[in-house]
Structure 1
Amino acid sequence: MMRHLTSTFPKSGILLLGNSVQSLVPSTLISQAESLLEGHRIEEAIDLADQQRRKLQANVSVDEDEADELRYVYQRIGFQCFTETLFEDAGKNLFNGDLDPRVLVSYYPELRGSLFQASDTMDVYAGVAERMPSEASVDAIIVANLVRNYSPHLKPNTQTAPPTAELRKILGMAAVDMLEIFLRKCRTRRIVEGKRKADASYPVVDTVLAKIYAQAEKTKELYTLIQEAHSIVLSEIEPALKQTGQYNALCLLYKQTGDDESLLQVWAKLVEGEWTDDEIPNPTEDMLSLLTNSKNRTLTQKWGLWLTRRDPERGIRLLMPRETGKRPQRPEDDLSLLEQIRDANPAAGAQFLEYLVLQKRSSSRDLHTQLAMVCVAQVLAALEDQLISKLWRAKVSSYASSRSESRTTFFSYFASMTPDSPSKLARLKTVLFLQGSSMYDAELIRERLVPLKHILSLELAIVDGKLGNHHAALSAIVNDLHDSSSAEAYCTLGGDVIPSKVAQAICADAKLGLGLWAFGLNGKGRQKTVDANDVGLVKRKELLKILLEVYMSDEAASAERVALLVNSQAMNLDVVDVIPMVPAQWPLKVMSSFLARSFRRTVHARQEGRIVKAISAGQNLDVKDRTWLILREEGMVVEESLDEDDGDGADYDEKGGVIEKVASAPPNGQEEKTSVPWTAESDAASLHIT
């Protein structure tokens, strides 16, 4: 007899007899577990597996074969519990058996969605695969279990009977809870073990877990999952988040994936009230922040137009291109965008038009004309209010009655004395733009202003000045506005009613916000006085003459006002032009100052001319004296004619005298030069200066 110990089964023994062999082999872990499960002794099978796990954990090194046996046993126990709807025990044992999460998720079709492809494969023990539930879903497993346990005892059937229907619902919730715990443990194990290599199960675990959190409205857990490193499939979780109203979580995922378009769509529906989410208190601000920092011009324009329909001021700020260092937009792109903004919101279109002309300094005549028309339309709309119309007429009357007390222009008076209002601001903008721009269609603007010329005399005068209708412009300023200061400024500046200093002083008022509207009046060469060139001087004299005619055409013209004009502009007025215009009944003292200054200036000019002439003559004598000796030493060279004259040898001098021909041409045809002594002329007559 011989006893032999094997390494595979250390506790087994072999007995060799003369004519037979007997062996004593202990049962394996798998066989013991299978035996217990067949006898429905699930608790004992679980205890057996736990004992084996503790033994393996106590070893310094783990035998991989024994570990595989243990995983197999746990998976067999887990699926046995799963089949019998013992979901809590099933989840624990399947996790201990290191089951691929995709296998368990496959029994939840409403959660797995399209996460699985037909080509996907999973490794499962053959013995486990043979004993896995054959049903397609966990709900089918629950229904089969209810039928097995309660049919035909419940009427009419287990699906419609209230007790089993309620039990089915409870078991379904327990199955989902088990899956949640299982997946959460899988994520925790992944983080603890520090697995960085991508695994096909990661997207399934994270996405299904996020769906469970969303459906159970576990917002805190959902946010924690999203904020940690995850592999959520956005296309799968998106419908679940929308269905459960978890829009903030959806926005967080869009931000992480950089899907700005979808993110803006969610915020837009929240702004419109189609969706609501307390976690997003101000979606409009979120949209503005995203679009302000976005470098996608197409996206910014699309949603800027959408925002313009609801908040014109903020929408326009988005649509105004920022200085990014990139190539600026083409003019045709600006025009196209302007039309789109007008379609979305006409008021916003007017603001964008102001931006193109005032800030971007567009040189398009069409845009300038459009802005001028918009400004005039706003003024005309304001005048439809009778209170505003009466107020503006009253300002003209009050200015006319107080004009002798101050040299303030009507424009300054209106800006300072009229209460702040949208209508006042509209008129100030209109006046500044009509004066500052030279690229709008003045004829078209004049047609709009003429019907209200008794109120809008200032605007009409500016436009007439642009058209060169100086008499009409000065008549409006003098006779309608009674603004002599602006009339004289008109002549001084060559046709501009508003001096640049006046415009800049009004635009400097921060309360009015007109800083950009003086753009045409701020240039260095825009309104310099016309004394700088002769053409401007002539024009200035012509305008002053027209202004004097306007003053004189008024039968009730004030002699003092005319005297003030001619005295202040005496340098540019000719006494010959002024005297015929003065009425005969005016006393001489009214014009005495102008006449005295004009005569004095005439005498001064004549005497200055005499002095200049005498100085020039003296300089000529000095030059002759210094060159006399030099010319005498050099002598004179007389060039004789080469042509043979048939006449009497005398030429007719153009100055009226007959001069002798000095010599005839030499015989050989060559020119002959002869030196002739030069005799100095007699001294010039004495110079007398009076």
Structure 2
Amino acid sequence: MFNGSFPRSSVLLLGEQQISALLPSTLISQVESLLSSHRIQDAIDLADQRRRKVQESITPDEDESDELRYVYQRIGFQCFEETMFEDAGTNFINGDLDPRLLVSYYPDLRGSLFSAEDALDVFAGVAERMPPDASVDDIIVMNLVRNYSPHLAPNTRSAPPTVELRKILNLAARDMLLAFLRKCRIKRQASKDSGLPTTQAVNVTVDTVLAKLYILEGRKEDLHMLLENQNYVALGEIDALLREGSFFHALCLIYKSQNDDTQLLDTWSKLVEGTYQDDTVPDPLSQMIALLKQKRDRGLVQKWGVWLAQRDAERGLELLKTLHSGKRRDKPEDDLATLKQLRDVSTSAAARYLEYLILVRGNNSPACHDDFAMTCVDQLISSVSDESVSKLWRAKGNVRALMLFSTSKVSYTAASYASSSRNESSFLLYFASTTPDSDHKRTRLKTIVFLQSSASYDPKLLRERLLSQPKIFTLELAIVEGKLSNHRSALQILANDMRDDISAETYCTLGGQVIPPRILRSMADKVDSSLSQWIGLQLPNSTPPITRQNSTTDSQLKSDLLKLLLKVYMMDDRAGPADRAARLLNAQSASLDIVDVVSLIPPKWPLTSMSSFLTRSLRRTLHTVHEGQIVKMISSGQNLEVKDRTWAILREQGAIVEEAIEDEDGSATSYDEKSPLSEKVALPDDESGRDAHEIHVNGVDHTSAPSWTSDDSAP
């Protein structure tokens, strides 16, 4: 069968020993002839003419396509060798040259993409005529030597004109390579059947060398466009170039395409810190947060959440909170580990995270509560380092500080609570309503509520810290003393140091709790809304994570505490102890025994100061006696009613003789089936012959002789 790829001949010459045919010249032979005559442009025109003819064919012949590839590659290398780089690149792309062949002449760009031992499929005629030089620079130098030696002094290599021309030709060669690789990518994306080799090695070579060229020429936008789309860039080949040229956005794009989250986050973090500089990276901090929330990798979130909290506490803590968003229940030790890392970078962020663990996560571990309590107290101690805060709180918290600030207007306002003879509200409400709003104030209120609410911290540790400022942190000390059951000390602080009789009496009523729910409700209505989450821990119908104390107290404990408070009042050497004690006696007379109270009252006290208590106590005692008498009479009436109802029943039963029951030892015992009624029945013993019944009902003896009729029908 005739193969159309071979030339046909209609003229044959028959000889004695051979047959000759007159054949037309092939494309390859014509191009070779033109190239040997250095008619390169004619060879290009001839190849283009044949290419258009092949493209017009509905079904292109593969042999003709291979022939065209050979011709274009042959022309391309001819131009390449003669430093006609622009024409060489055009012919290379038309000839579908393997990019690795051309890149092999650029050792500075080739890197380690392939070695000299790698084998490629190349047309034999093309391989024979490829430039033998090792690099494109060597080709340029050899051309300069051939064309300008020995006309330039001192020599062709070092003469200024040739040095400049060498630079220009190298730039032209690089521009040609860049254009060639870009067209290769376009062809690869346009059609998988373009004829170009599409192996992984070819794709890696094209994309990596193209990226290197963009980096060397500073073309950031082109580089970003390359990396944002699907690519086969080998990061190891361009990593150093990217860092040297500050192409960190490109580096991030590569890490993102390769799902290398660790390196990506590390690069973004250095951009945020300022170690790297690249204005083209859009908001690296926000990108970090978005990636971490998307990936939900606990290790990465914990590491970078702590790092972020050092720079932006709000966003860092928000990120760390995502660790608790899943169904997995975190271990307390995990929270403590995160907390320790936070404390190393930011004390304030650690305090806020600890607050979140207690309030939201419900972490009741003693370690967390000890830590938070100490943090709050440390913040208070830090606050009083400010002289103005120290003076204000000292005056508010301790009546003994009044004389120090009697001339200051602010101090007068602060001292007004302790100087008042009878306060209508507790010290806590007074402090919350009269102290100017500030961070120090909110910190103290939060600390007070936490110390009262939590039952998981160690009060001994806090007591030592609070004693460093005993005249300022009076209410806090009272709460801690109550937690330690040091009732006398707590009442001494509340009643005598703070003159807070309301809180002192509340302490006794609630068995050691200084702040009652009523006070907290008042604070919820009056203070800053930022404290609502803390105050809400004690409000009704709430389920706070903090352990609440039982508000109901044993009556004996309440009585003991009231007596102790009465003693504390009497120990006060300032004016008015009798009035305060009298108010306490009048308010809590129901819980105090008159005998115990009378034994405590000093003889010098006037009787009028106790007249109200004594009168009410005696009335209460008399009322109790009368109430007992009423109950006794009601009980007697009920007994009579029971006897009246049981009379008819006993009358119907008649006389019953109980037989003695012998025990195991033979002795006779009696058993009364009607023991609940304590009924005793005897034989007739009167002269009339009637039965006499001795009946005991509810402990009352009743002897009766009923009148029966003479007919023996009655029982």
The equivalent of 1:565 in structure 2 is: 584
The equivalent of 1:530 in structure 2 is: 552
The equivalent of 2:381 in structure 1 is: 380
1:679 to 693, 700, 714: 693
Q: Distance in 2 between matches of 1:165 and 1:409?
A: 94
Please state if 1:448 is matched with 2:465. yes
- Contact 1:392 / 1:455 at 8 angstroms: preserved in 2? yes
The equivalent of 1:546 in structure 2 is: 564
Counterpart residue identity of residue 420, structure 1: D
1:549-598 alpha-carbon deviations (Å, 9 max, x no partner): 22222242344433332222222122222334445555544433333322
Name the SS for the 2:324 alignment partner: coil
| Pairing 1:212-251 to 2, within 5 Å after superposition | 212-251=213-252
- Contact 1:180 / 1:212 at 8 angstroms: preserved in 2? yes
Distance 1:306 1:162, change over 3 A: farther
- Contact 2:453 / 2:549 at 8 angstroms: preserved in 1? no
- Shift of residue 624 of structure 1? 3.8
Distance 1:639 1:370, change over 3 A: farther
The equivalent of 2:595 in structure 1 is: 576
Please state if 1:51 is matched with 2:49. yes
Q: Distance in 2 between matches of 1:263 and 1:539?
A: 64
| Pairing 1:257-296 to 2, within 5 Å after superposition | 257-296=258-297
- Contact 1:403 / 1:483 at 8 angstroms: preserved in 2? no
- Shift of residue 42 of structure 1? 0.9
- Contact 2:99 / 2:206 at 8 angstroms: preserved in 1? yes
- Contact 2:538 / 2:548 at 8 angstroms: preserved in 1? yes
Residue-pair matches, total: 651
Distance 1:195 1:572, change over 3 A: farther
Please state if 1:419 is matched with 2:436. yes
**Structure 2 residue runs without a partner (length 5+):** 403-414, 670-681, 683-690, 703-715
1:603 to 622, 628, 652: 622
Distance 1:99 1:579, change over 3 A: same
Please state if 1:349 is matched with 2:350. yes
The equivalent of 2:103 in structure 1 is: 105
Please state if 1:618 is matched with 2:637. yes
Name the SS for the 1:210 alignment partner: helix
1:467 to 481, 484, 497: 484
Counterpart residue identity of residue 693, structure 2: T
Of 619-628 and 203-212, more deviation after overlay is shown by 619-628
Structure-2-length-normalised TM-score: 0.83
Counterpart residue identity of residue 621, structure 1: L
Q: Distance in 2 between matches of 1:549 and 1:406?
A: 21
Distance 1:285 1:84, change over 3 A: same
Distance 1:487 1:72, change over 3 A: same
Distance 1:443 1:112, change over 3 A: same
- Shift of residue 410 of structure 1? 0.8
- Contact 1:490 / 1:497 at 8 angstroms: preserved in 2? yes
- Shift of residue 616 of structure 1? 2.5
Q: Distance in 2 between matches of 1:102 and 1:510?
A: 76
Q: Distance in 1 between matches of 2:551 and 2:329?
A: 37
The equivalent of 1:187 in structure 2 is: 185
- Contact 1:436 / 1:518 at 8 angstroms: preserved in 2? no
Please state if 1:69 is matched with 2:83. no
Please state if 1:481 is matched with 2:498. yes
Counterpart residue identity of residue 377, structure 2: V
Q: Distance in 2 between matches of 1:638 and 1:85?
A: 145
Q: Distance in 2 between matches of 1:20 and 1:529?
A: 127
Please state if 1:86 is matched with 2:84. yes
Distance 1:174 1:199, change over 3 A: same
Distance 1:557 1:428, change over 3 A: same
Structure-1-length-normalised TM-score: 0.86
Q: Distance in 1 between matches of 2:317 and 2:521?
A: 26
Counterpart residue identity of residue 306, structure 1: W
1:375-427 alpha-carbon deviations (Å, 9 max, x no partner): 22222232233322211123244243564564121112112222233332332
Name the SS for the 1:136 alignment partner: coil
Distance 1:386 1:19, change over 3 A: closer
- Shift of residue 22 of structure 1? 5.0
| Pairing 1:582-593 to 2, within 5 Å after superposition | 582-584=601-603, 586-593=605-612
The equivalent of 2:165 in structure 1 is: 167
Q: Distance in 2 between matches of 1:118 and 1:605?
A: 115
The equivalent of 1:154 in structure 2 is: 152
Distance 1:272 1:8, change over 3 A: closer
- Shift of residue 99 of structure 1? 1.1
Q: Distance in 2 between matches of 1:250 and 1:643?
A: 106
- Shift of residue 182 of structure 1? 1.2
Of 457-466 and 135-144, more deviation after overlay is shown by 135-144
Q: Distance in 2 between matches of 1:510 and 1:258?
A: 50
The equivalent of 1:333 in structure 2 is: 334
- Shift of residue 511 of structure 1? 4.2
- Shift of residue 486 of structure 1? 0.8
- Contact 2:9 / 2:21 at 8 angstroms: preserved in 1? no
Of 290-299 and 28-37, more deviation after overlay is shown by 290-299
1:313-358 alpha-carbon deviations (Å, 9 max, x no partner): 4434333454333423322222333333323334433333333334
- Contact 1:399 / 1:413 at 8 angstroms: preserved in 2? no
Distance 1:509 1:237, change over 3 A: farther
Q: Distance in 1 between matches of 2:18 and 2:439?
A: 119
- Shift of residue 512 of structure 1? 6.3
- Contact 2:140 / 2:169 at 8 angstroms: preserved in 1? yes
Distance 1:39 1:636, change over 3 A: farther
1:637 to 644, 658, 663: 658
Of 374-383 and 256-265, more deviation after overlay is shown by 374-383
Distance 1:367 1:63, change over 3 A: closer
Please state if 1:127 is matched with 2:128. no
- Contact 2:455 / 2:548 at 8 angstroms: preserved in 1? no
The equivalent of 2:407 in structure 1 is: none
Please state if 1:9 is matched with 2:23. no
- Shift of residue 85 of structure 1? 0.9
Of 91-100 and 417-426, more deviation after overlay is shown by 417-426
The equivalent of 1:177 in structure 2 is: 175
Q: Distance in 1 between matches of 2:161 and 2:127?
A: 33
- Shift of residue 211 of structure 1? 2.1
Of 206-215 and 303-312, more deviation after overlay is shown by 303-312
Q: Distance in 1 between matches of 2:525 and 2:608?
A: 44
Distance 1:64 1:621, change over 3 A: same
Q: Distance in 2 between matches of 1:16 and 1:125?
A: 35
Q: Distance in 2 between matches of 1:240 and 1:216?
A: 11
Counterpart residue identity of residue 458, structure 1: L
Name the SS for the 2:12 alignment partner: strand
The equivalent of 1:657 in structure 2 is: none
- Contact 1:180 / 1:209 at 8 angstroms: preserved in 2? yes
Counterpart residue identity of residue 325, structure 1: G
- Shift of residue 276 of structure 1? 0.9
1:640-669 alpha-carbon deviations (Å, 9 max, x no partner): 4547799xx9xxxxxxxxxxxx9xxxxxxx
Of 226-235 and 160-169, more deviation after overlay is shown by 226-235
Name the SS for the 1:15 alignment partner: strand
Counterpart residue identity of residue 594, structure 2: V
| Pairing 1:18-37 to 2, within 5 Å after superposition | 23-37=21-35
The equivalent of 2:685 in structure 1 is: none
Q: Distance in 1 between matches of 2:527 and 2:57?
A: 84
Q: Distance in 1 between matches of 2:304 and 2:394?
A: 45
Q: Distance in 1 between matches of 2:15 and 2:661?
A: 168
Q: Distance in 2 between matches of 1:137 and 1:58?
A: 38
- Contact 1:507 / 1:518 at 8 angstroms: preserved in 2? yes
- Shift of residue 38 of structure 1? 1.3
1:114 to 106, 112, 115: 112
Q: Distance in 2 between matches of 1:19 and 1:338?
A: 102
Q: Distance in 1 between matches of 2:387 and 2:328?
A: 49
Q: Identity of paired residues, percent? A: 51
Q: Distance in 2 between matches of 1:23 and 1:207?
A: 52
- Shift of residue 537 of structure 1? 1.4
Of 101-110 and 152-161, more deviation after overlay is shown by 152-161
- Contact 1:437 / 1:520 at 8 angstroms: preserved in 2? no
Name the SS for the 1:530 alignment partner: coil
